[in-house]
Amino acid sequence: MAGLAVSGGGIAGIAAALGAARAGHDITLLGGSTTPNLKGGVQIAPNGWAALESLGLGDAARACSTRLHTITVRALDSGATLIRLPLHDPYASFGRAALAGLVEEALGGTGRVTRIAEDVAHIHQDDGHVTLITAAGTSHKCDGLIAADGGKGPGRRHVTANGSAGVSAEKVAMRALLPLADMPAHFALAESNLWLGRGVHVVHYPIGEMVNLVVTLPAARTGDGWQARLFGASSPLAALVDGQIDWARTALPVAATAGCWRRGHVVLAGDAAHSMPPHLAQGAGQGLQDAACLGRHLGHEDDIEAAFTLYARERAAAVSRIVQKADISGRIMGLSGPAAHLRDMVLNAGGPRLMQNWLAEVWSADPSLA
Ligand SMILES: Cc1cc2nc3c(=O)[nH]c(=O)nc-3n(C[C@H](O)[C@H](O)[C@H](O)COP(=O)(O)OP(=O)(O)OC[C@H]3O[C@@H](n4cnc5c(N)ncnc54)[C@H](O)[C@@H]3O)c2cc1C
């Protein structure tokens, strides 16, 4: 057996490598010319947690995350609370580096992984084998490839007819990670906070001693002084106007599920299969679910093509609705003018039940992971 290859060392790639290694496969993990962006944080919702548990990472994940107990939605203009949703199931924030670190540690512990720090340039399939040619010109033959090389990687181009996933030209996210000690006390509450403005929304949550901030706004409104224009002196978020804050501008992926997830012995995972805007905080969690699902099918099926087929069928069906909902959520959050006013009234009237109903479908973990 030549074993399996995984392309891409982001969260989906290393988690998929772990799932496949735990299922008994030797893994060649390719990629590394670009370091994954490990700045800032992610929230992992109950479905992502189910995947972490399924991958055997539950205890390690609890030890390095911050449990969040409520989602609070407020109006940015008035500061009024629109919804407070208590979180009974596991929901936590992680530093990206901490999340990747715990997966890497478990992966190293399997003793089944060989790393090749070269990007995949070409994918070729023949006679039930996959041959990967790297950018450095080396060749690697394997029984199957899990392509987790992101929305613009070679995996998606090889498997689908609809090519690379795009990014939004209209909206961007400005991200920052700051010490809680430098911020007003309300930033330290163990809550996930969403502030809805006019064409703008802000998310913040604590991660250990830090606070993770994401401001989503139209690209056209990010000129010099954007913070002062968004957060006036009387705003509860006035602390964000501080000129010392180092904001990272991040392009937002557009919602796009791959039309096809498998071609022969190559299957997609993570953003390569399902890129989505971050408005439901689901991208990384879905990548973890892909990994857990792959691991389960590879553990039950000797035939790689059969395992990839079952995985692709199951995950494509589960994810497409979530990608759609992430997109719709972003449109609702981005409303402005009278529509935004109406949105705030509806959210306030609907309360936690409305939000719970919206999220229940998203968070219901793949039942087969239980
Ligand atoms: C502002 C923002 C906030 C977010 N917040 C959350 C959140 O709270 N919760 C959540 O679950 N998700 C969140 N996400 C989404 C999450 O960050 C992504 O879905 C997740 O990181 C994707 O992981 P991935 O491994 O699939 O892809 P990537 O992280 O894109 O990794 C792909 C890897 O493939 C490598 N690669 C590329 N080309 C090649 C090649 N030719 N050969 C080999 N390797 C290659 C790249 O270098 C990279 O390391 C957020 C996203 C954004 C933008």
Q: Given this model, what pLDDT does residue 234 score?
A: 85
- How far, in Å, from the CA of 9 to the mean position of ligand 1? 9
| Best probe residue, ligand 1, of 6, 11, 159, 164 (max atoms within 8 Å of C-beta) | 11
Q: Which residue from 93, 107, 149 has its CB within 8 A of the most atoms of ligand 1, so it is best to mutate?
A: 149
**β pairing state of 256-257 and 210-218:** unpaired
The residue with tokens 């390569």 is: 272
What amino acid occupies position 113?
Answer: V
Work out the burial of residue 356: count CB atoms within 10 Å of its CB; fewer than 13 is exposed, 13-18 middle, 19 or more buried. middle
- Quick one: pLDDT at residue 204? 98
Q: Where are the domains of the chain?
A: 4-166+254-369
In this structure, what token pair is assigned to residue 8? 């891409």
Spacing, Cα 270 to ligand 1 middle (Å): 7
Would you call 200 exposed, middle or buried from its count of C-beta atoms within 10 A (0-12, 13-18, 19+)? buried
Residue of the nearest CA to atom 27 in ligand 1? 150
Report pLDDT for 165: 80
Q: Is 294 helix (H, G, I), strand (E, B) or coil?
A: helix
72 lines ligand 1 (CB under 6 A): no
For residue 214, the cross-strand partners are 175, 203
| Residue 365: predicted pLDDT | 67
Cα 38 to averaged position of ligand 1 atoms, centre (Å): 9
Distance 337 CA to ligand 1 centre (A): 33
Instruction: Tell me the best of 271, 282, 290, 323 to mutate to test the pocket of ligand 1, counting ligand atoms within 8 Å of each CB and taking the most.
Output: 271
In the chain, the amino acid numbered 121 is A
In sequence order, the 6+-apart residues with CB closer than 8 A to the CB of 67 are 90, 91, 92, 190
**pLDDT < 50: residue spans in the chain:** 1
CA dihedral for 95, 273, 153, 22, sign (positive or negative): positive
Q: CA–CA separation, 168 vs 91, rounded Å?
A: 28
The pLDDT value recorded for residue 142 is 97
Is the CB of residue 123 below 6 angstroms from any atom belonging to ligand 1? no
Whether this prediction's pTM lies above 0.85 is answered by yes
Q: What is the pLDDT of residue 233?
A: 83
Distance CA 12, CA 207 (A): 21
Mention every residue, 6+ apart, whose C-beta is less than 8 A from residue 305. Answer: 128, 144, 264, 265
* Residue identifier of the C-alpha nearest atom 30 of ligand 1: 150
**Is 295 a pocket residue for ligand 1 (Cβ < 6 Å)?**
no
* CATH assignment of 4-166+254-369, among 3.40.50.300, 3.20.20.140, 3.50.50.60, 3.40.190.10: 3.50.50.60
Q: Helix or strand or coil: residue 54? A: helix
* 120 CA: nearest ligand 1 atom: 42
Instruction: Tell me the CA–centroid distance for residue 4 and ligand 1, in Å.
Output: 21
Structure confidence by residue, pLDDT tens digits, 71-93: 999 999 999 999 999 999 999 99
The response to whether residue 13 sits with its C-beta less than 6 Å from ligand 1 reads yes
Q: Is 287 in the pocket of ligand 1 (CB under 6 A)?
A: yes
282 lines ligand 1 (CB under 6 A): yes
Instruction: For residue 256, give the amino acid letter.
Output: A
Q: Does 329 contact ligand 1 (Cβ within 6 A)?
A: no
> For ligand 1, is residue 12 a contact (CB within 6 Å)?
yes
